[in-house]
Amino acid sequence: MPGRKKSLIIPSLIVAALILLAAAFIPYIRASFIDSLHLPLELLFAINREIQGIVLYHYNLVQNQRLEREISLVKRQLYESTEVYLENARLRELLDFKEKSIYPLTAANVIGYDPSNLSSIIIINKGKEQGIKRDCAVITNSGLVGRVVEVGRLTSKVLVINDINSGVAALIQRSRQKGLISGTLSRGLVMHYLPPGADVRISDTVITSGLSGLYPKGILIGKVIKIREENYGEMFAVIEPSTDLTRLEEVLVVLPK
Amino acid sequence: MIVRYYFRKYRIQIYGFLILLFATSLQCTLLNYFRIINIKPDIMLATLVMFSFFYSLRCSLIFSLLIGIFRDVLGFLPFGFNTIICVLWVILAREIFQRLSIEDKLIRCITLFIIIVLNNLTLNCFMFIINKPIPTGILLKVIFLESLFTLPLSLMIYKIFIFLLNPVKSPSINRL
């Protein structure tokens, strides 16, 4: 019997070797062989993963916490760099405007707003030390903002043109029609004292006329969006300011020559 | 030890001062980005009313003076105007609270509304006197919207006061 068994083992090993050899050379057989092992392999892998998870739980936990910290740090850096990028873009714009401008200018940041709703005042971080004086005009790269009404050593208060107490001598750029712009405490401005039949059209550009002596001539104020009739046939125009006066961050102060 | 002793002794006043500073900085910076139809809530006025509600007359008068000074410093009106009227509003609020139920939310809201309206009307009268009158339409818009925005915020400030001052543990608060 043992001799018979031995005689069966040798041929069966040879057949198995031949099958494996054939499988190595024929891709279809190899693929189906591996496919048949797919499920048990998956199962083994899952078990192995679970065991690893249990064994290395503490290590994974610490690593996870470290990675979370790193992610939050990277996220914060990303936000900061985005903010710096945007600020840089704005300042570049301002600088470009400053270089082109004929007036001596100084850039300032808006650091505060008037606490009440009945006036429109901003506080900037430049004062006497930077050469700012009362009644200096304040602008941005896109247009007129207002004028300095109070000057401290390091800060100044600016009366924005949408304040109801503000008055700007202005003219329509196309027709040279003059008027007086005052604020409404909202986004819009109103150009008063336009004579009956004044040559004013929608989308006309409005600039400072320089008549009051407070603002230099030719600074952009905005565009006409509405024309209405006032008392005694006089007209008034609603102006959309070229600068968003409710969200000012950086401004330029026109220094006295 | 000395610092701890004084902190314990003046804890309520220190919290009040910190709330005041927080309200002022919020009013002048962040609240500007939450303007609706270009009107922002008056958190300083709401805090002022809360001071008169939670603190003794002396304390609330000191805080009202400080709020008034801050408003005058940051605003455009002649210096002293806000300082005076803020003191008046504290006295008025205390008078109302002494006569009516202080626990009623509605009473608190109505008091605050009255003070906002009176504050804006007084401001308008003063502007009229100094020859800078505010158009009626703008004034009405400001009064209505400012009250509307301030009232929900005042409830939040009330909760902050309750949380910080914890009236059960603080017998020095005379109002509760």
3-state secondary structure of A155: coil
**CB-based contact B74 A186, cutoff 8 Å:** no
| Structure-model confidence comparison of residues B131 and A41, the more confident one | B131
A117/chain B closest Cα distance in angstroms = 6
Residue B90 has φ and ψ, to the nearest 5°, of -65, -45
Q: How much is the pLDDT for B94?
A: 85
**CB-based contact B138 A159, cutoff 8 Å:** no
Please give the residue of chain A at the shortest CA–CA distance from B140: A118
Residues of A in contact with B39 (CB under 8 A): 117
Question: Which ipTM was obtained for this model?
Answer: 0.76
Query: Which of A109, A111, A117 has the highest number of chain B CBs within 10 A, making it the mutation to test binding with B?
Result: A117
Residues of B in contact with A165 (CB under 8 A): 76, 132
The pLDDT of B80-95, averaged and rounded, is 86
Q: Which of A184, A177, A167, A217 is nearest to A201 (CA)?
A: A177
Confidence class for position B173, pLDDT limits 50, 70, 90 = very low
**CB-based contact B75 A165, cutoff 8 Å:** no
Full-model pTM:
0.69
Q: How much is the pLDDT for B174?
A: 46
Residue B39 has φ and ψ, to the nearest 5°, of -120, 135
Of all residues in chain B, the percent with pLDDT exceeding 90 is: 0
Nearest-CB residue to B75 (from A111, A114, A185): A114
Show the DSSP H helices in chain A as ranges: 2-25, 27-36, 38-55, 57-100
Q: Is B136 on the interface with A (CB under 8 A)?
A: no
DSSP secondary structure letter of residue B59:
H
pLDDT tens digits for B109-124? 788 888 888 888 888 8
Q: List per-residue pLDDT tens for chain A, 257 residues long.
A: 455 556 677 777 777 777 666 655 565 555 565 566 666 666 766 777 777 788 788 888 888 888 988 888 888 778 778 778 888 887 877 777 666 667 788 888 888 888 888 888 888 888 888 888 888 999 988 889 999 988 888 888 899 998 888 889 998 888 888 889 988 877 779 998 888 888 888 888 899 988 878 888 888 899 999 888 877 778 889 999 988 888 788 899 998 87
Q: How much is the pLDDT for A21?
A: 64
Nearest-CB residue to A113 (from B28, B42, B146): B28
Beta strand ranges found along A114-234 (DSSP E): 121-124, 137-140, 143-151, 156-160, 167-172, 178-183, 189-194, 205-208, 220-229
Q: How much is the pLDDT for A138?
A: 92
Q: How much is the pLDDT for A3?
A: 56
3-state secondary structure of B36: strand
Show the DSSP H helices in B29-104 as ranges: 43-54, 57-74, 81-99
End-to-end CA distance of chain B: 30
Count of CB atoms situated within 10 Å of the CB of A97: 16
Q: Is B147 on the interface with A (CB under 8 A)?
A: no
CA gap A106, A126 in Å, rounded: 9
Q: Which of residues 26-85 of B touch A (CB under 8 A)?
A: 27-29, 32-33, 35, 37-40, 42, 44, 70-71, 74-77
**CB-based contact A185 B123, cutoff 8 Å:** no
Angstrom CA distances, B40 to A198, A207, A244, B89, B147, stand at: 37, 30, 17, 20, 10
Q: Is A203 on the interface with B (CB under 8 A)?
A: no
- Please report, as a single letter, which amino acid is at residue B143: I
Please give the residue of chain B at the shortest CA–CA distance from A164: B134
pLDDT tens digits for B43-65? 888 898 888 888 888 888 899 98
**CB-based contact A116 B123, cutoff 8 Å:** yes
* Structural element, H or E, at residue A107: strand A105-113
Q: Is B139 on the interface with A (CB under 8 A)?
A: yes
Q: Is B108 on the interface with A (CB under 8 A)?
A: no
CA gap B61, B58 in Å, rounded: 5
3-state secondary structure of B109: helix
Please give the residue of chain B at the shortest CA–CA distance from A162: B38
Q: How much is the pLDDT for B176?
A: 39
**CB-based contact B124 A118, cutoff 8 Å:** yes
Residues 6+ apart with CB under 8 A from B164: B15, B19
Q: Is A112 on the interface with B (CB under 8 A)?
A: yes
